[in-house]
Amino acid sequence: MPLILLTGFPASGKSTRAQQLKEYFSTLVGKNVMVLSENDIVKNKQIYSDASKEKDMRSTLKSEMQRMIGQDDVLIIDGGNYIKGYRYELYCATKSNKTTQCTLHIDTSSEQAWKLNLKRDETCQYSQENFDALVMRYEAPDGRNRWDAPLFTIQPEDELPFESINAALFERKAPAPNLSTQSLPLTSTNFLYELDCVTQEIVNRVVEAQKTCVIGDEVSIPNSSEKFLLKRRYQLSELSRIRRQFISFAKTHPVDDIPKLAAMFFQYLTSHLV
């Protein structure tokens, strides 16, 4: 099931665009269309002031997406999807299912989105505090990132490029699952030991490099040709949290090639660091 991922500021008009897409693909293209909306899960906008509840909401949305992605025709995810790492996780899900996807960025300004928010029913409005916080945390998509590509950026006055979106979904070959998304048999009896050692070594290298390097320096990654760009100072707790997440992910996607394992973790780490 090809995926259209909507993203944008709160109250930027994503749901309106989702309905326009649904109408186009169902009436003019003849596809079955499913809309998975964040609004159907979030019954109270105050959830955005509770990080734990918001995380649960994203997990629910992702689980539903994974359940539906194997069905036919078009799936539209209508939500903020403002975290770069979260969009990467959704990309991995579509890639592992050998289907295409595209990203639709509703590029409404924060000022205009706030005015639209005030026109909503009070029960559906974002508070000023939550609205400002979501805008501040928003990580805009970048078409140079494979998980955001192909990217369509839409201004409020724009007509949707329906034919281009259709071509991106149905006239383009789905990317083949790679080692970071495809389940493989466990081929190494010491895989878990290697996984622990390789990831810990990379984390240690980043932590140690920060003692002598300056922001903007590149750090060589053990067992890989990749270089890690120091964009800011990273806390050990932050790196360790992402490492634990990757280990959980990698246990279901094992490989017995250490350079590939290191490259997988480097890719995962850079996509989850802001």
Mean pLDDT of 122-148: 92
pLDDT in tens, 158-172: 999 999 999 999 988
Distances (CA, A) of 236 to 92, 210, 221, 243, 266: 26, 11, 16, 10, 16
* pLDDT over threshold 80, residue 268: yes
Q: What percent of the chain has pLDDT over 90?
A: 51
Mean pLDDT of 31-39: 92
What is the pLDDT, as a whole number, of residue 201? Answer: 92
* pLDDT over threshold 60, residue 181: no
* pLDDT over threshold 70, residue 274: no
* pLDDT over threshold 60, residue 178: no
- pLDDT band at residue 242, thresholds of 50, 70 and 90? very high
Distances (CA, A) of 66 to 1, 61, 77, 102, 169: 10, 9, 11, 16, 18
What is the pLDDT, as a whole number, of residue 115? Answer: 96
Which residue has better confidence, 248 or 178? Answer: 248
pLDDT in tens, 200-225: 999 999 999 998 899 989 999 888 88
What is the pLDDT, as a whole number, of residue 6? Answer: 97
φ and ψ at 89, to 5 degrees? Answer: -65, -40
pLDDT in tens, 1-34: 799 999 999 999 999 999 999 999 999 999 999 9
Q: Would you list the domain boundaries of the chain? A: 3-170, 191-272
pLDDT in tens, 110-133: 999 999 999 998 888 999 999 999
Question: Which range, 40-54, 88-102, 248-262, is most confident?
Answer: 88-102
pLDDT in tens, 65-114: 888 886 568 999 999 999 998 999 899 888 888 899 999 999 999 999 99
Q: Which CATH superfamily is domain 3-170 in?
A: P-loop containing nucleotide triphosphate hydrolases (3.40.50.300)
DSSP output for the chain: --EEEEEESTTSSHHHHHHHHHHIIIIIS---EEEEEHHHH-S-GGGGG-HHHHHHHHHHHHHHHHHHTTSSSEEEEES----HHHHHHHHHHHHHTT--EEEEEE---HHHHHHHHHTS-GGGPPPHHHHHHHHHH-----TTSTTT-SEEEE-TTPPP-HHHHHHHHHSSPPPPP-TTTS------TTHHHHHHHHHHHHHHHHHHHTTT--TT-EEEPTTSS-EEE--S---HHHHHHHHHHHHHHHTTS--S-HHHHHHHHHHHHHHH--
pTM exceeding 0.75: no
- The arrangement of strands across the sheet holding 33-37 comes to 33-37, 74-78, 3-8, 101-106, 151-154
